[in-house]
């Protein structure tokens, strides 16, 4: 797949890049995408939820009424889950939701997600960007120049760039990642995938056939 390289003003530079069919042209595997997205979302969970059970809530341990003769059900503790202010039954406890996924499964998921974007013609390639200072308006102008202002953008850089990251952080429909942070969830969650020239070589190295062996 061959694409024209654009500059930050959205104009054709006359250069072309070729996207590897082994990465951007495979038959997508929906199941491995599901597994990769599931792991990504699970790893983002803090798992710090906690509810007090009857042994943890504050309250007296005395029997709140006599056993018989009241005409109502027996009650032995003010901390009972059936009473207001009592402990919760089987409440959530802190836990780790993360789980392991094989490297080749994750690689195939990323290839599948990138192939979906390529088949839908939702990939743009731009020259390597470098902002002198963090400026949200610079990202807004960048999206306007590419005519994708109303679309959800995922910008993939070859290396970390703090100024570009900070410029896009305030915008709901813009996200910046490096190649090492690329994942199926963010690729599919975007409407337009914008790759910098330098990122393409790194994607080929990370997801290339030789790297899987």
Predicted confidence (pLDDT) per residue in 6-50, tens digit: 888 888 888 888 898 899 999 999 999 999 999 999 999 999 999
Residues 18 and 81 in one domain: no
Average pLDDT value over all residues in the chain: 90
Structural domain total, the chain: 2
Single pTM value for the model: 0.80
Residues 115 and 142 in one domain: yes
Residues 32 and 56 in one domain: no
Residue 62 pLDDT grade (very low, low, confident, very high; cuts 50, 70, 90)? very high
Tens of pLDDT, residues 130-154: 888 899 999 999 999 898 888 999 9
Distance CA 149, CA 137 (A): 12
166 phi, psi to nearest 5 deg: -70, -30
Residues 88 and 152 in one domain: no
Domain boundaries, position 160: 2-45+97-212
Dihedral-angle region of residue 48 (phi above 0 means left; psi in -120 to 50 means alpha; beta otherwise):
alpha
Distance CA 66, CA 74 (A): 8
Greatest CA separation for the chain: 93
Residues 7 and 68 in one domain: no
Residues 82 and 105 in one domain: no
Residues 35 and 51 in one domain: no
Kindly tell me if the per-residue pLDDT of 85 is higher than 50: yes
Residues 40 and 137 in one domain: yes
């Amino acid at each position: 797949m061959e694409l024209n390289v654009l500059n930050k003003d959205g104009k054709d530079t006359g250069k072309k890049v070729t996207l590897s069919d082994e990465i951007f042209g495979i038959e997508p595997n929906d199941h491995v995408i599901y597994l990769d997205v599931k792991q990504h979302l699970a790893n983002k969970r803090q798992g710090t939820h906690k509810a007090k059970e009857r042994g943890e809530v504050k309250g007296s341990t005395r029997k709140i009424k006599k056993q018989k003769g009241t005409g109502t059900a027996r009650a032995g503790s003010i901390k009972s889950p059936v009473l207001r202010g009592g402990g919760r039954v089987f409440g959530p406890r802190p836990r780790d939701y993360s789980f392991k996924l094989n490297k080749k499964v994750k690689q195939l998921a990323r290839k599948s997600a990138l192939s979906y974007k390529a088949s839908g013609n939702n990939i743009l390639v731009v020259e390597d960007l470098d902002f002198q200072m963090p400026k949200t308006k610079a990202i807004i102008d960048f999206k306007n120049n590419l005519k994708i202002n109303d679309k959800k953008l995922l910008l993939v850089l070859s290396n970390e760039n703090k100024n570009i990251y900070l410029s896009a952080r305030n915008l709901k429909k813009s996200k910046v990642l490096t190649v090492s942070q690329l994942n199926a969830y963010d690729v599919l969650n975007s409407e337009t995938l914008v790759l910098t020239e330098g990122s393409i070589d790194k994607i080929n190295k990370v997801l290339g056939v030789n790297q899987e062996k």
